[in-house]
Amino acid sequence: MTVQVQAEAGWALEVDAFDVQRERVAEALTAVADGRVGISGAPLAAHPAARPGALVAGVYDGEDATTHLLPAPVALQLAYDLPAEPVVRRVLDLRGGVLHERETTTVGELSALRFACLARPGTVVVRAHCPDSAEHPGLRAPDGAVGVEVGATGPVEWMRVPASTGGVVTARRAAATTAAGGTVLDVVAAYAGDSERLPEPDEAVALVEQAWEAGVDALLAEQEQAWAARWDDADVAVEGDDHLQLATRLALFHLIGSTAGTGEAAVGARGITGHGYSGHVFWDADTFVLPFLAATHPAAARAILEYRVRRLPAALEAARELGREGARFPWESARTGRDVTPLTAYDRTGRLVDILTGPYEEHIVSEVAWATCTYLDWTGDEEFARGDGLHLLVETARWWASRIEVDADGSAHVRHVIGPDEYHEDVDDDAFTNVMARWNLRRAADAVRDQGADVALAEVQRWSELATALVDGYDPATGRHEQFRGFSDLEPLIIAEAAPRRPVAADVLMGHDRLQASQVLKQPDVLMLHHLVPDEVPPGSLAADLDHYEPRTAHGSSLSPGITAALLARAGRLGPALDALDITARIDLDDLTGSTAAGIHLATAGALWQALVMGFAGVRVTDDRLQVDPHVPPAWGALTVRLRWRGSRVRLRCTADDVQMTADPPVPVRVRGTAGTAHPDGLRPAIEEVP
Amino acid sequence: MSTVLAAVDDSLCAGPVLAAARAFAPLLGSEVHALHVGQDAGATAREHARRVGVPFRQVGGDPLEVLAERAGSGVTAVVVGARDRASAAAAGHLPLALADRVPCPVLVVPPDWPPKERFERVLIALEGRPGRARPLRHAVDVVAGADLDLTVVHVEGEQDVPAFSDAPAHEMAAFAQEYLARAWPKAPPLRLALPVGSPADEVLALARDLQPDVLVAGWPQGAGPAHGHVVRELLRRAPCPVLLVAVE
């Protein structure tokens, strides 16, 4: 086996230079992860600007707002240094899930490959062609770690790092052989992490021994097969835009690496590609990451939902503490499921400010329900629909039923919230929050009826009544929604005209108080309804809401451009849609936020997929049918999407004026409004009964 | 042992100057010496020094010339009063002239500063980005060793407003860490503030909010009267002592 440093077009991210200014960005972009462990793409030889590191999904240290992902031992650093002006070339092979590197160390040339085993989550492998036979360091404790234990079991060394509860054990085995031109070093390491108990060293040692027995050659072949299988169900090909193609596959690569398909998955805002946002779990996981996984690898989507299922007791308790019923899922959560949103933070001006998202941003309750239904719509998982999925729907509905206030005139309201547009705090009747609550109540009522669940009929009827009575801000006269009560009276500032450019962090540009008093949005709020629950908004209102709200949106959230691209594409406004898509694609590749060094924006990656698949390809699940209504720019030769829908492998190829679709086994579809069936050999327009 | 030279006179500044010098000197590993330049009685200055146990000397001559001459080897800082802060023209005349000539930092103490025994919170105003402000980095390294609460503020223009600012609870921490990694790889633990607007106004607004014990600012030595207007404004309006550090 030789180390490949050739890049395959459309399938490889090349980092040709070692730029001390951007090194940490490069390391996040080239991180490799298998859903359990994530390894930074730092060169194997040391340099002061590099940040080698490892994170294990779901293993946190600390309590409350300070809880954060526990830094894990570094297993892959070698005994070499890079010179002051390093020459390093890295190629991330997205197809095979392997990071190749070649660099000039102070003692000679080093080339290597590394990967995190998708088929054996928690196991990482290096094969390095070294310039000499130097002794290499073993496991390195993370900076600041306390209570570290080390030991060895035969040829396998291990290191155990405790967290406040639980911890990580890393085991490592290495061997060098002499080869022509130098030494070949094989390293196999494994990470066993647990958030509740400190793992035993043998748990990681056993993983290493199993992998070591297989050998690096076999592990590499296994890795390539595992990634090939995932791409076979998940690839999105954009013909005619090489930059977008690479950005898309890079986004999917990190989405795939973020979540293992077993147990529970605590998917933080930056996944396990970086320590940013402390690994806290936001709506990013449910709303932006899960749809991709539900449509390509349902087991991983199920693991995200399992994270919520296991924290349902904490959400129930949180609601009780507020004197309400049902489940009040927190805006930010980590190990326990209790709210870990910071109460204060230093903002960009250097001032300590109150953070209100924890107490006010309640729409996440509906997004847990939405994620549940998205998973069910794509998989048809009846066991989950009858069991834990039903519990999630019922308890989230109960939250809203106890949260909604009914006025004397019979109208129902949700007061004192923050919507996805986080620029406006403590508002009443945020359209997104209310309509999502309405949708949540109705879907729960449907689920109870469908499953014959043991919920009193009167309670379900109450849900339906509340749903009907909830105000949603829609004005038939204008054909659009008011974002929240009083929004129309705010300063009519159109940020598209007033700002020097967009996206722009309007909170930095204008300041908190001016923003509160103006019609400037951070990200889609009303428009997010059109994206998530298009059947809950009046037909035809997308265009009116787009006309009104898009120019008022600063897009100061990295979640914003992708969703905007999806909606603009659905509306057939392909020029602006492509502009928004381009920004989405560049957020991490070009470090547009200045914080990609802290990890890949997983929600942006998910939004990129949603823009392409739900926006440009127009894919939705409605009425137990896969609906396709594409809007493909003529500049693209074709947009090809691979999906899994209810066990069927679906292939969709769209051009500006044609749709081709196959499915094995066949599935019912609706293509541009026409019902039919997708078969292994293509579309058949006639409606057929599909077993 | 090195010396912090406290320039005291018979004005309202005598007490605050000595207090600031005594709070600052431990950070530099120095001891305080009080110096009164003038032919007057010097009773106020002498008595202030006696009360706090600081060695006192009185010499004649022009204050600027004498202080500049004595602020040579072995002197780590000169502490002077800002005698008249009500007038923009008069504010900091001696301090700025001193800062133009001496190799060590000059700490300028307002007459109405409520004395503190220790400096605990420091606000550092950077005119350039951290990577370019080498003398200020040295000043930061000095105060960093004393385990102080440090905030570095760099006021940006509208063109610097970032495109994105995601979750306020986390974004600045992630951004600042990488910002400092690029601009100041060996920065001590500190908070970074990047407000947008008028430099003097924003620094002073932050100073009013944070209530630092000392504000550090760069002074362009020998740049002439057309430069340093931000520092002049800070000297005139800062609610705390201002440490002037020479920059190129």
Q: What is the 3-state secondary structure (H, E, C) of A407-469?
A: CCCCCEECCCECCCCCCCCCECCCHHHHHHHHHHHHHHHHHHHHHCCCCCHHHHHHHHHHHHH
Contact A508 B163 (CB under 8 A): no
pLDDT score recorded for residue B91: 56
Q: Which tokens sit at A396? A: 């989230």
Contact A505 B195 (CB under 8 A): no
Pairing of strands B56-59, B31-37: parallel
pLDDT score recorded for residue B193: 94
Residue tagged 């060793």 (tokens) = B145
Q: Where are the beta strands (DSSP E) in A180-322?
A: 182-194, 236-238
Is residue B231 within 8 Å of residue B243, measured between CB atoms?
no
Say what percent of chain B tops pLDDT 70. 88
Q: Which residues contact A78 (CB under 8 A, 6 or more apart)?
A: A44, A45, A110, A128, A130, A134, A136, A137, A185
Separation in Å, CA A247 to CA A7, A238, A251, A496, B210? 15, 10, 6, 26, 43
Residue B26 predicted with pLDDT over 60: yes
pLDDT score recorded for residue B82: 87
Q: Which residues contact A97 (CB under 8 A, 6 or more apart)?
A: A32, A115, A116, A118, A223, A224, A226, A227, A253, A257
B84 falls in which pLDDT band (50, 70, 90)?
A: low
pLDDT score recorded for residue A464: 98
- From the list A422, A465, A491, A536, the catalytic residue is A422
Determine contact: B129 vs chain A, CB below 8 A: no
pLDDT score recorded for residue B10: 85
Residue A572 predicted with pLDDT over 90: yes
Determine contact: B192 vs chain A, CB below 8 A: yes
pLDDT tens readout for residues A241-284: 999 999 999 999 999 999 999 999 999 999 999 999 999 999 99
Residue tagged 């600045």 (tokens) = B172
Q: Which residues of B touch A360 (CB under 8 A)?
A: none
Q: What chain A residue is nearest to B155 in terms of C-alpha separation?
A: A349
**Residue-averaged pLDDT of chain B:** 87
Contact B170 A277 (CB under 8 A): yes
Residue A57 predicted with pLDDT over 90: yes
Q: Where are the beta strands (DSSP E) in A305-390?
A: 344-346, 352-354
Rounded to the nearest angstrom, the minimum Cα separation between A496 and chain B is 13
Is residue A652 within 8 Å of residue A641, measured between CB atoms?
yes
pLDDT score recorded for residue B189: 86
SS3 A404: coil
Higher pLDDT, A327 or A182: A327
pLDDT score recorded for residue A632: 98
pLDDT tens readout for residues A127-165: 999 999 999 999 999 999 999 999 999 999 999 999 999
pLDDT score recorded for residue A211: 98
Q: Which CATH number fits the domain A12-233, given the four candidates 3.20.20.60, 2.70.98.50, 3.30.70.20, 2.70.98.40?
A: 2.70.98.40
Determine contact: B122 vs chain A, CB below 8 A: no
pLDDT score recorded for residue A5: 53
A96/A115 Cα distance (integer angstroms) = 9
Contact A276 B167 (CB under 8 A): no
A359/A343 Cα distance (integer angstroms) = 9
A588/A277 Cα distance (integer angstroms) = 15
Higher pLDDT, B230 or A383: A383
Interface test with B, best of A284, A288, A341, A349 (most B CBs within 10 A): A349
Q: What chain B residue is nearest to A24 in terms of C-alpha separation?
A: B178
SS3 B246: strand
Q: What is the mean pLDDT of residues A320-329?
A: 98
Is residue A505 within 8 Å of residue B163, measured between CB atoms?
yes
Query: Residue A199 carries which DSSP code?
Result: P
SS3 A279: helix
A646/A579 Cα distance (integer angstroms) = 33
Is residue A294 within 8 Å of residue A375, measured between CB atoms?
yes
pLDDT tens readout for residues A593-650: 999 999 999 999 999 999 999 999 999 999 899 999 999 999 999 999 999 999 999 9
Is residue A200 within 8 Å of residue A232, measured between CB atoms?
no
Is residue B71 within 8 Å of residue B60, measured between CB atoms?
no
A372/A362 Cα distance (integer angstroms) = 17
Residue B248 predicted with pLDDT over 80: no
pLDDT tens readout for residues A512-559: 999 999 999 999 999 999 999 999 999 999 999 999 999 999 999 999
Q: Which tokens sit at A235? A: 């690839």
Is residue A606 within 8 Å of residue A600, measured between CB atoms?
no
Interface test with B, best of A558, A595, A596 (most B CBs within 10 A): A595
**Residue-averaged pLDDT of chain A:** 96
Is residue A465 annotated as a catalytic residue, yes or no?
no
pLDDT tens readout for residues A29-56: 999 999 999 999 999 999 999 999 999 9
SS3 B164: coil
Q: What is the mean pLDDT of residues A455-459?
A: 97
Q: Which tokens sit at A403? A: 């949260």
End-to-end C-alpha distance for chain B, whole angstroms? 28
pLDDT score recorded for residue B219: 86
Determine contact: B153 vs chain A, CB below 8 A: yes
Contact B162 A594 (CB under 8 A): yes
Contact A594 B179 (CB under 8 A): yes
Residue B124 predicted with pLDDT over 60: yes
pLDDT tens readout for residues A75-87: 999 999 999 999 9
Q: Among candidates A565, A629, A671, which has minimal Cα distance to A248? A: A565
